[in-house]
C-alpha cells in the first residue's frame, strides 16, 4: 500500500543547466516536466476553473460563518467563545504563515515556469496575508492559471498548466491544515454542546448546529480527499484517482472522522477536562512518531533540511493525527495505517464505553451513540480497505483513470 507524501516541494528537481529557451523565449521543459504534461491527466476544463471560483467563495463564507459562530457562542458562554476564536485565529495564522513562506520559497528557488511577480503583486499578496486572507489570493491566482490553461491558443499554455498543478496542490495542502486546525476542534465542540443539551430540545438552535455538524464533517473529509487527489495530479509518476475511488475515499473519511468526533465529544460530556489531557497525550505521541519517521517535508529543492520548520510542521500535522491519518513520507504505508487505526479503534471504543458507563441510563441516545461510534469506524475502515484493494490507482487499468 503506497500512499503519497505531504511534501511541499517543487513539482520537479533539476539543475539550471537543464533549462534552455527557444526563439519565443518559452522555457524548454525538462524530461520530468514533460512527463507530467504528457501524463494521462484530467484536463483543466472550464468546469474546473468554475469549481475554483466556487471554492474561493465557499472559503470566504466559511471564514464568515466561523466569525458568526463566535458571536453566537459569546452569548452562550465566554469559555466557548474563547475556544472558538482561538481555534479560528490559530487556523488563519498557520495557513497564512505557511502560504507566505511558500511564496518566498518559490521566489528564492526561481522556478523557470513561474512568471515574474511584479512589486505591486507582492504588495497585494502581503496585504491579503496581513489580513489573514492569504488563501483568497492563492485561489484567485489558481483561477487565472486555469483560464490560461483552457486557452489552447496561448503559447504558454503548458507553463500555466504546471503553475495550475502546483497551485492546486498548495491550496489543497493549506485547506487540509486549516480545516483540521479549525473545523475539527469546533466539530467536537458542537457535538459536545448538542449532547449537553440532550439533543434537539431547542429545535431551532439545535437544527442549525446539526447542519453545521454535517457541513463541517464534509469539509474535513473533502479537504483530505482533495489533498490526496491534488498530490497525485501534480506528480508525473503517480497515477490519478478516478471519480469512484475519490467518492469511496471521501465517504470513508466521513465515517472515520465522524466516529472520532463523536467519541471525543461524548467522553468530554462525562469527564470534562480529562479530554484535554487525552487529546494532548495523543497529539504528543503522534508528533514524536512523526519526528522519529525523519520526515523531510520542509527540505529545500536541493534537499537541504530545515530542522526548525520540519519540527513545527510535524507539530501541526500532529493535530491532523488526532482525527485521521495522512502519510508524510513517501514510503510503503501498510504498517503505518495498521498501527495508527488499531490505536484509533482502541481509543474510540474505550472513550465511548467510558462515557456509556457514566451516562444517565435514561438517555435515549445512549445506545445509538455507542453503536454509531463502533459501526461508523468499522464502515470507514472497510471502505478504506476496499479502496486500496480494488480502486487505488495502481490497481486500475490505465483507461479506468482520469
Same domain, 193 and 248: no
Is 402 within a domain?
no
Region 297-326 average pLDDT: 82
- Which of 15-19, 31-35, 190-194, 253-257 holds the top average pLDDT? 253-257
Last residue of a domain, one of 224, 240, 256: 240
178 domain-assigned: yes
175 has a pLDDT exceeding 70: yes
In a domain, 18, yes or no: no
d(Cα 83, Cα 45) in Å, to the nearest integer? 41
Q: Is the pTM of this model over 0.85?
A: no
> In the listed set 240, 255, 288, which residue is the last one of a domain according to the structure?
240
Q: At what angle do helices 203-233 and 46-76 cross, to 10 degrees?
A: 140
272 with 196, same domain? no
pLDDT band at residue 200 using 50, 70 and 90 as cut-offs: very low
Query: What does the pLDDT look like over 202-231, one tens digit per residue?
Result: 555 566 667 777 778 888 888 888 888 887
Categorize the per-residue pLDDT at 296 as very low, low, confident or very high, splitting at 50, 70 and 90: confident
Is there a single domain that holds both residue 148 and residue 222? yes
Instruction: Count structural domains, the chain.
Output: 2
Same structural domain, 231 and 301: no
Q: Phi first, then psi: what are they for 149, rounded to 5°?
A: -65, -35
Last residue of a domain, which of 207, 240, 273? 240
**279 and 235 both lie in a single domain:** no
307 and 328 housed in the same domain: yes
Rg (CA), the chain: 22
On whether both 160 and 291 belong to a single domain, the answer is: no
The string of pLDDT tens digits covering residues 324-370 is 988 777 666 778 888 899 999 999 999 999 999 988 888 888 899 99
Q: Is residue 21 included in any domain, yes or no?
A: no
| Structural domain boundaries enclosing 374 | 241-393
What value does the mean pLDDT of the chain take? 78
Is position 24 within any domain? no
Are residue 217 and residue 357 in the same domain, yes or no? no
- At residue 377, the pLDDT reads 94
For residue 50, is it within any domain?
Answer: yes
Nearest to 9 by CA among 337, 231, 226, 198: 231
- Asked if residue 76 and residue 223 are part of one domain, the reply reads yes
Cα–Cα distance for residue pair 263/211, rounded to 1 Å: 19
- pLDDT band, very low/low/confident/very high, at 16 (cuts 50, 70, 90): very low
- The dihedral formed by the CA atoms of 172, 40, 50 and 99, expressed in degrees to the nearest 10: 20
User: Which pLDDT score is estimated for 281?
Assistant: 95
Element (H, E) at 20: strand 20-21
Give the residue from 174, 162, 155, 146 showing the smallest Cα distance to 12.
Answer: 162
Any bridge partners for residue 27, and if so which?
21
Q: Are residues 316 and 365 in the same domain?
A: yes
Going by pLDDT thresholds of 50, 70 and 90, the confidence category of residue 284 is very high
375 & 250 share domain: yes
Could you tell me if residue 1 is inside a domain?
A: no
My answer on whether 231 and 271 are in the same domain is no
Q: What does the pLDDT read at residue 61?
A: 73
pLDDT at 329: 72
Which residue is associated with the grid cell 501541526? Answer: 316
Inside any domain, residue 2:
no
Amino acid at each position: 500500500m503506497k500512499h503519497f507524501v505531504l511534501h511541499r516541494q517543487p513539482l520537479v528537481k533539476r539543475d539550471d543547466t537543464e533549462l534552455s529557451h527557444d526563439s519565443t523565449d518559452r522555457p524548454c521543459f525538462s524530461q520530468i516536466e514533460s512527463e507530467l504534461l504528457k501524463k494521462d491527466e484530467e484536463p483543466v476544463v472550464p468546469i474546473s476553473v468554475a469549481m475554483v471560483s466556487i471554492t474561493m467563495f465557499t472559503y470566504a463564507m466559511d471564514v464568515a460563518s466561523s466569525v458568526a459562530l463566535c458571536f453566537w457562542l459569546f452569548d452562550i458562554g465566554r469559555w466557548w467563545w474563547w475556544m472558538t476564536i482561538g481555534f479560528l485565529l490559530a487556523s488563519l495564522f498557520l495557513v497564512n504563515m505557511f502560504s507566505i513562506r511558500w511564496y518566498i520559497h518559490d521566489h528564492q528557488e526561481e522556478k523557470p515556469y513561474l512568471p515574474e511577480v511584479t512589486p505591486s503583486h507582492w504588495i497585494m499578496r502581503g496585504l491579503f496575508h496581513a489580513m489573514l486572507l492569504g488563501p483568497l489570493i492563492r485561489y484567485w491566482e489558481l483561477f487565472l492559471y486555469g483560464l490560461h490553461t483552457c486557452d489552447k491558443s496561448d503559447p504558454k499554455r503548458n507553463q500555466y498548466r504546471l503553475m495550475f498543478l502546483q497551485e492546486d496542490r498548495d491550496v489543497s495542502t493549506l485547506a487540509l491544515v486549516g480545516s483540521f486546525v479549525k473545523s475539527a476542534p469546533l466539530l467536537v465542540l458542537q457535538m459536545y454542546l448538542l449532547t449537553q443539551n440532550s439533543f434537539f430540545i431547542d429545535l431551532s438552535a439545535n437544527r442549525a448546529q446539526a447542519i453545521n455538524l454535517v457541513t463541517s464533517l464534509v469539509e474535513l473529509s473533502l479537504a483530505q480527499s482533495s489533498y490526496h487527489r491534488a498530490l497525485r495530479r501534480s506528480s508525473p509518476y503517480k497515477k490519478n484517482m478516478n471519480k469512484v475511488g475519490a467518492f469511496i475515499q471521501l465517504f470513508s473519511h466521513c465515517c472515520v472522522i465522524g466516529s472520532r468526533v463523536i467519541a471525543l465529544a461524548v467522553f468530554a460530556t462525562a469527564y470534562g477536562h480529562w479530554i484535554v489531557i487525552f487529546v494532548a497525550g495523543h497529539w504528543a505521541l503522534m508528533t514524536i512518531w512523526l519526528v522519529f519517521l525523519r520526515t523531510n517535508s520542509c527540505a529545500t529543492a536541493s534537499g537541504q533540511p530545515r530542522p526548525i520548520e520540519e519540527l513545527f510542521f510535524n507539530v501541526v500535522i500532529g493535530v491532523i493525527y488526532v482525527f485521521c491519518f495522512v502519510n508524510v513520507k513517501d514510503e510503503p504505508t501498510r504498517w503505518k495505517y495498521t498501527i495508527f487505526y488499531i490505536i484509533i479503534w482502541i481509543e474510540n471504543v474505550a472513550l465511548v464505553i467510558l462515557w456509556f458507563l457514566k451516562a444517565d441510563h435514561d438517555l435515549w441516545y445512549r445506545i445509538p451513540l455507542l453503536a454509531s461510534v463502533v459501526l461508523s469506524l468499522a464502515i470507514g475502515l472497510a471502505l478504506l480497505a476496499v479502496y486500496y484493494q480494488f480502486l487505488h490507482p495502481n490497481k486500475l487499468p490505465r483507461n479506468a483513470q482520469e
